[in-house]
Amino acid sequence: MQKKALFWLFIYAFILFISVSFSIKIEGIAGAFLTILGVLLTLYALALIIIAGKTLKKYAHKEPRDSFIPNKLTNEGIYSCMRHPMHHGIGLLPFALALISNNLVAILAALLALSSAFGFVLIIEEPELIKDYKEEYCSYMQKVPPFSLDLRCLEKGLLALQNRAYIQENSKVALKGFEAKYYDILINVLTFGWYKGFIWQAIKDLGLKKGDYIADFGAGTGQNALLMRQYIGKEGKIVGFEIGKEMQEQFLQKAKNFDNIILEPSSILEEVKQENAFDVVFLSFVFHGFEQKNREKILQNAKKLLKKGGTLAILDFNEFDIEAAPFYIRIPILFLECPLAQDFIERNLQEMLSKEGFKEFEQKVYFKGYLRLMKAKKL
């Protein structure tokens, strides 16, 4: 370990000395391009180092220990994609920083150092690993390359580090703090304004009528309630069930001028007291964030609240193969959403509703079929 640390210290010191001593600046469009490339490569290198370190800490020990220094060979996560992801990241980092500097001499020095570093790993490091792990490492060498620039390696690494337990503690439905306070702004920024038009269309597709009574399960900031009020008019009523304090404050602020939008500060898991009181029970991107046993409780509460002939409407993820989905769907589901969302996507929602006695299903799909509004009747 000391030998490796001294080697990398020498490499970084060499590049720093060259960069300070000699400078040939690359300017204009080429310089701007190199800066952008350098920033992206820096992020990639840092991600490699962090993911590799966490993977070693989690998988490369014969017994649990708080260290990334291994005593066991691992081919989990990012190590199933390349043999030396940490060295790869440490080696790429000075090259990336040299690109950002726009110093041609520093870039050439970093390239020279990078080739020397990779040579060090293959000529010095690998024989030591063969000595330590023998045939196991030789077999590993035949299957996995030493380095890779495939971005899917990062995805594999993150997946191996993920806590995929389908338990309520891993839910992200009950937002707090910054995310809750600025939820409406964040969701529009993160979707580049797409969400605003989407939710407007989805609520239009609910088919609400003047005078409808609506129970909004997981009402959030009250934004959906304001949109639904346009369809039910003054004659209708919306009761928003919400337990998040920050969300409640925003709901009350938005609804303060409307007598027919009411906050119910209770959990949708608590047994409801009213019966046969609502024409519609609506859930918008809430249902996926619960354990299956709790989803069943929510459906039972919804059925109890609905009038005969009333509609349960669930706007959420559709069923699809996550691994086969395009990256702009797969990455947010795997790394931004909670594991419970993955569990929900793998289940048949219509069967779930049928089991609780709902009938007459109707659905609308959005965003190439990855999102869905499912409607069902209580008969």
Measure the CA–CA gap between 70 and 331, rounded to whole angstroms: 29
For the chain, the structural domain boundaries read: 2-161, 170-377
Measure the CA–CA gap between 194 and 335, rounded to whole angstroms: 21
Chain centroid offset of residue 121 CA: 34
Measure the CA–CA gap between 43 and 56, rounded to whole angstroms: 20
Tokens of 340: 């419970």
pLDDT at 11: 77
pLDDT at 165: 63
Instruction: Write down the CATH superfamily of domain 170-377.
Output: Vaccinia Virus protein VP39 (3.40.50.150)
pLDDT tens across 133-167, in order? 999 999 999 999 999 989 889 988 888 887 666 66
Measure the CA–CA gap between 289 and 336, rounded to whole angstroms: 12
CATH no. of 2-161: 1.20.120
pLDDT tens across 102-126, in order? 999 989 988 888 888 888 888 888 9
Tokens of 324: 């086969």
Measure the CA–CA gap between 307 and 213, rounded to whole angstroms: 10
CA separation, residue 321 to residues 170, 172, 342 (Å): 21, 21, 10
Global pTM reads 0.72
Helix (H) or strand (E) holding 323: none
The mean pLDDT values, 10 residues at a time, for the chain of 379 residues are 71 78 89 94 92 89 68 90 93 91 90 86 89 92 93 87 66 78 88 93 97 97 97 96 95 96 95 94 96 96 97 98 89 83 95 97 97 97
Helix, coil or strand: residue 374? strand
Helices (H), the chain: 2-21, 28-59, 85-101, 104-120, 126-133, 135-143, 152-161, 177-181, 183-190, 194-204, 223-232, 245-255, 292-305, 327-335, 339-345, 349-355
CA separation, residue 235 to residues 97, 241, 254, 312, 377 (Å): 64, 20, 19, 20, 22
Q: Which of 37, 42, 124, 40 is nearest to 84 (CA)?
A: 124
pLDDT at 375: 98
